[in-house]
Each structure stands twice: as C-alpha cells, then as structure tokens.
Structure 1
Amino acid sequence: MKLLINQKLRRFLLMVVVITVVAVEIPIIAVGHLTKPVPGDAIIVLGAKLIGDEPSTMLRLRLDEAIHLYSQGYAPAIIVSGAQGQDESISEAAAMRHYLIKKGIPDNSIYIEDKSYNTYQNLLNSKNIMREHGFRQAIIVSNASHIRRSLVLAQQLGIEASGSPAPMADNAYLTAKQYAREGAAMLSLIMFSR
C-alpha cells in the first residue's frame, strides 16, 4: 500500500513539474521566435559574458542584431549595457562599444551603461539614459531565450519597448542550458512579483 502511494505521489509530482515547465517554457520560446521590433529612439543591447575583452558568441549575436537594426534605420542610437564582471578585464559595455565601432557604428550613436550586473539593472539604468536624452521608445536586443523576461521587466519599469530577438548560439547544449535558466528566472519573476 505504501509503495502504491509513493508511486502515485511521484507520478503526480512529475506531472506538476512537466506542466510547470511547459507553461513557462512555451511562452519563452514563442516570444523569442515571434517578437518583431518596432522602430524607436534607441536600441538597448543587454550585456552577456566576455571572453577576455571580446564579446562571447551570445553577445556577438546580440550586437550583430543591433547593427542590423541600426543599419535598417530602426533607431538612431544604441545603448550598450553591462558592468565589468569579476572575471572580465573590461566592462561588457566597453567591449560592446569597441565591437560596434569596429563594425562601422559611429561612436556618437553609442551610449554606455556600465553599472549593471543583471537584466533588471540593465533596463533600469538604460531607462535613465533614455530619459536624459529624450528617448521615448526602445528596442530591446537579447538572445531569443531572454527576450520574454526582458520585455516583462521593461513593462514593469515603465519602458515603452519592443523586442528584437537575436539568434541562439549554434550549440544544442548551450541553447538548452539558456532556456532552462530563463525558465527558472521567469518562474521566479512570476512568483515574486505578486
């Protein structure tokens, strides 16, 4: 009898986990594939890990998306956002600025936000830069797995924003890891923002 109850409890808990994962991950995946940018005043590129003083693959994909948007006339300014991590030789924002300039983006079109260590801070500090320069509408650029949470946080902060998902790295393990991480972060955001 005890064994039967344990099996039923395990099945029930597994079902709860599966339903939770599906309910959280499907919207993340959908938003990351279906979101389209709307022209605005500034493109906000959210930071990610550096390799030495160079953008990682995930960050390069974000920056290339920002370059595409800028060159297509979606916005006249780019805000690069990210502080210097303990294992980084320069701030993420400084590395992003260097990358953009090497790719032909004019220096006077780039605004640096180098005080933030997480997505909430990225957006809050970028909002302050937007306010200082009279920018009203942003396009948030991050990888597809990160766009939904970024847009939810932007809405909570009162930033008028659309999203432009950059592709994920061509690495199944890294992609699965990023989606799992975002699922946990999104679940935490939902649970603690009430």
Structure 2
Amino acid sequence: MSSASASTVPLGRPLVPSRSTVGGVLRWAGRIVAGTLLIALVLVAGTAVRVWQVARIDDERHADAILVLGAAQYNGVPSSVFQARLDQAAALYGKGVAPLIITVGGKRVGDAYTEAAAGRNYLSANGVPADHVLAVETGSNTLQSIEAVATAMHARGLSSVVMASDPWHSLRTRTMARDQGLQAWTAPTRTGPAVYTRESQAHGIARETGALLWYRITHYSADFKYTAEQ
C-alpha cells in the first residue's frame, strides 16, 4: 500500500468531535430550547389576555336562548357561584334578551337534584315562568354540558345563545359552543365569589388560560374547581 493511500488516523482510536463542534451543537440546542420557551410564553400570555378581554364583554343582543352553565348545588339549593349565574340569566331574560333560559348539568352520586333541575327550580321561584326554562339534566363538565345543550337546541331548531357564566369562563364556553355549531356570545355575571377579590380574579384567569389551552390542544375538557362555593 502506498503512503498516499494510508489512513492518517491511527488504528484503534475513535473519532472524537472537536470542542468547537460540541460547542456549536450546544449553542443550537440552547437556541431551540429558548425559542420553544419563548413561543410557549407568548402563547400562554396571549391566551390569558384574551380570557381577560372576553371576560369584560357584555353582549346582550337578542338570541334564541340564554344558557346558564351549572355549578354546585346542595340538595336543590344553588351554591353562591351558581346563584350568581342564575341571577344574571334572570336579568337577561327580564331585558328580553331571549325567550328561553336553558339550565344544564347532571348530578353526583347521592345527590337528589341535578344542577339543571336546581337551576330551573330557582329561576321558577324567582319569577321566570316554568315553561320558559329548559333543564338539560346531563353533563359533568363544561364540554359535556355544552355538547348536550347544542344537541337539545339543534333538535328544537334553535341556533343562537347568550352564555351566562363567570367572566373568566366566558372565552372557553363561547369557544366550545361555537365548535358545536352554535352562534354564541357572552354576558357574564358581575357578582359572586369568582369576582369578589383581585386574588379570585387572578386565579380565575390563570385557571381558564390553562383549561382553554388544554381544550384547544386536545378538544377535551379540563375543569378545575371554582373558588369557594358558599
């Protein structure tokens, strides 16, 4: 074998990347990680801003129905969170926003009432005619409830809905309703534990930001327990 064709790398010695090569790889890896974190930060921050923006909207245009998202009830008595939503729905009904209020929500094991039934009974006891309240007695989370309401509305030829929930809940519920083929807008309650303090407001925005991102990525619900339901 000629000296020109002989290997210049001694036999038995592995090829070791130079320090400059390793440094370059680490720099690129660091840039990728930093870029990913920046994108995630912008996405989270942007979603939080949208949650806050939509929470401030009171859209009281005329619709086919007003939807009250369920919350805890105790032997047929709505919790303070649920009552605030129901009072808002009753106020919207009184303004002529819609001729029908829909309550929604199932019940837990051992409960005597569904959330929907407790809401219907509360509204009827507070001046809303019983035949103007539709109780959709199913759903253990926001997505299931909205899917059930959409099915009930489509079956009745109804297509537009004003959603009465907590302010921070508005964007996610509106997004889900529109995904179910409904024309949906929001007019949330301005009373109740969800809006009592700055702390509860910040907690609500953070919670709904995470839940909305989860829904957009997976199309599953991610409901977290609301602030104290007294």
* Greater RCO, 1 or 2 (C-alpha within 8 Å, sep 6+): 1
Counterpart residue number, 1:136: 159
Counterpart residue number, 1:185: 211
Higher strand share: 1
Higher helix share: 1
Q: Name the % identity.
A: 28
Most deviating of 84-93 and 143-152 = 84-93
Contact 2:106/2:140, CA 8 A, preserved across alignment: yes
Matches within 5 A, 1:82-121: 82-86=105-109, 88-121=111-144
Most deviating of 155-164 and 99-108 = 155-164
Tell whether 2:174 aligns with 1:148. Answer: no
Contact 1:82/1:93, CA 8 A, preserved across alignment: yes
RMSD of aligned residue pairs (Cα, Å): 2.4
Contact 1:58/1:169, CA 8 A, preserved across alignment: no
Tell whether 2:69 aligns with 1:53. Answer: no
Tell whether 2:104 aligns with 1:78. Answer: no
Tell whether 2:49 aligns with 1:37. Answer: no
Counterpart residue number, 1:64: 87
How far does residue 106 in structure 1 lie from its aligned partner after superposition? 0.4
Most deviating of 22-31 and 122-131 = 122-131
Q: In structure 1, how many angstroms separate the alpha carbons of the residues matched to 2:109 and 2:164?
A: 24
How far does residue 155 in structure 1 lie from its aligned partner after superposition? 1.2
Q: In structure 2, how many angstroms separate the alpha carbons of the residues matched to 1:120 and 1:56?
A: 21
What TM-score do you get using the length of structure 1 for normalisation?
0.84
Count of residue correspondences: 186
What TM-score do you get using the length of structure 2 for normalisation?
0.72
Q: In structure 1, how many angstroms separate the alpha carbons of the residues matched to 2:156 and 2:214?
A: 33
Tell whether 2:196 aligns with 1:170. Answer: yes
Contact 1:28/1:148, CA 8 A, preserved across alignment: yes
State the Cα deviation string for residues 3-60 of structure 1 (Å, max 9, x = none): xx9xx99xx6986665444222110010010241321111111111224432122211
Instruction: Answer with 1 or 2: which has the greater Rg.
Output: 2
